[in-house]
Amino acid sequence: AQKITQTQPGMFVQEKEAVTLDCTYDTSDQSYGLFWYKQPSSGEMIFLIYQGSYDEQNATEGRYSLNFQKARKSANLVISASQLGDSAMYFCAMRGRRGNEKLTFGTGTRLTIIP
Amino acid sequence: DSGVTQTPKHLITATGQRVTLRCSPRSGDLSVYWYQQSLDQGLQFLIQYYNGEERAKGNILERFSAQQFPDLHSELNLSSLELGDSALYFCASSAPLRDEWTDTQYFGPGTRLTVL
């Protein structure tokens, strides 16, 4: 079984500062994918970034980067130069090997950016 | 805009009723997934279809059923509705399965179901 743990229910960060959202995972699959999604107050789920278990380099997408530490089973999201529009719920998710493509989500972190 | 469409956006109904939620995947995507987001259960996987066939089942109640049609759109049917079924229901789609299994799931805007 797969499990995602997000230990920060809420975070407050000053605008323009960098923020790290924590995510640890557990799986018995050798091949898996790790994802981060953003859910603004409007409710939609927006894909941010993906990291494959065999990727040697950390994924980056604009201001988002994923700090992947396979031995520690962590996949933290780093947002650089935070903006007011970054205020939202952030979910870490995992997808397993072929035949187990469903996403398993963590409980999320509510990020609030303070002007 | 993810390219995944869901209708209706909001649905208000009474206990015991039956509703149908509809999802159109992104162009070219063959997999459709249904997820339920509720305050007490969080985001839970319900069911997956791939090119018209059921591929995986999660914590989907027997009162719920789904199907994927030849044009690849999918419907989630919820019957004998209870208060606890009130939730945000998401549909997601991903590209055809490949060896790397890295395909991202893109989510629709969701259908917010309220059971009174």
Smallest Cα distance from A62 to chain B, Å: 17
Across the interface, whether the CB atoms of B105 and A95 are under 8 A apart is answered yes
Question: Contacts of residue A52 in chain B, CB cutoff 8 Å?
Answer: 100, 102
Predicted pLDDT at A17: 97
* CB atoms A101 and B97 under 8 Å: yes
Contacts of residue B82, Cβ cutoff 8 Å, sequence gap at least 6: B15, B115
Report chain A residues whose CB lies below 8 A from the CB of B31.
101
pLDDT at B98: 64
Chain B: residue nearest A4 by CA? B43
Chain B residues with beta carbon closer than 8 angstroms to that of A31: 101
Mark yes or no for CB contact B109/A44 under 8 Å. Answer: yes
Q: With contacts defined as CB-CB under 8 Å, which chain B residues touch A33? A: 101-102
Question: CA of B67, closest CA in chain A: separation in Å?
Answer: 17
Q: What is the pLDDT of residue A87?
A: 98
Task: Return the pLDDT at A29.
Answer: 86
Q: Could you read off the pLDDT tens digit of each residue along chain B, which spans 116 residues?
A: 899 999 999 999 999 999 999 999 999 899 999 999 998 889 999 999 999 999 999 989 999 999 999 999 999 999 999 999 999 999 999 987 665 556 899 999 999 999 99
Compute the distance between CA of residue A31 and CA of residue B89 in angstroms, rounded to an integer. Answer: 28
Contact list in A for residue B94 (CB cut-off 8 A) is 101
Q: How far apart (Å, rounded) are the C-alpha atoms in residues B95 and B27?
A: 9
- Residue B42 distance to chain A (closest CA, Å): 6
Q: 10 Å Cβ neighbour count for B62? A: 7
A36 touches chain B (CB under 8 A): no
Question: Is B48 in the A-facing interface, judged by CB distances under 8 Å?
Answer: yes
| Full strand arrangement of the beta sheet holding B5-7 | B5-7, B19-24, B74-78, B64-68
Nearest to B35 by CA among B83, B81, B93: B93
Round the CA-based radius of gyration of chain A to a whole number and report it: 14
Report residues of chain A scoring pLDDT below 50.
none
Q: Is A43 on the interface with B (CB under 8 A)?
A: yes
Contact B105 A105 (CB under 8 A): no
Nearest CA in chain A to B97: A98
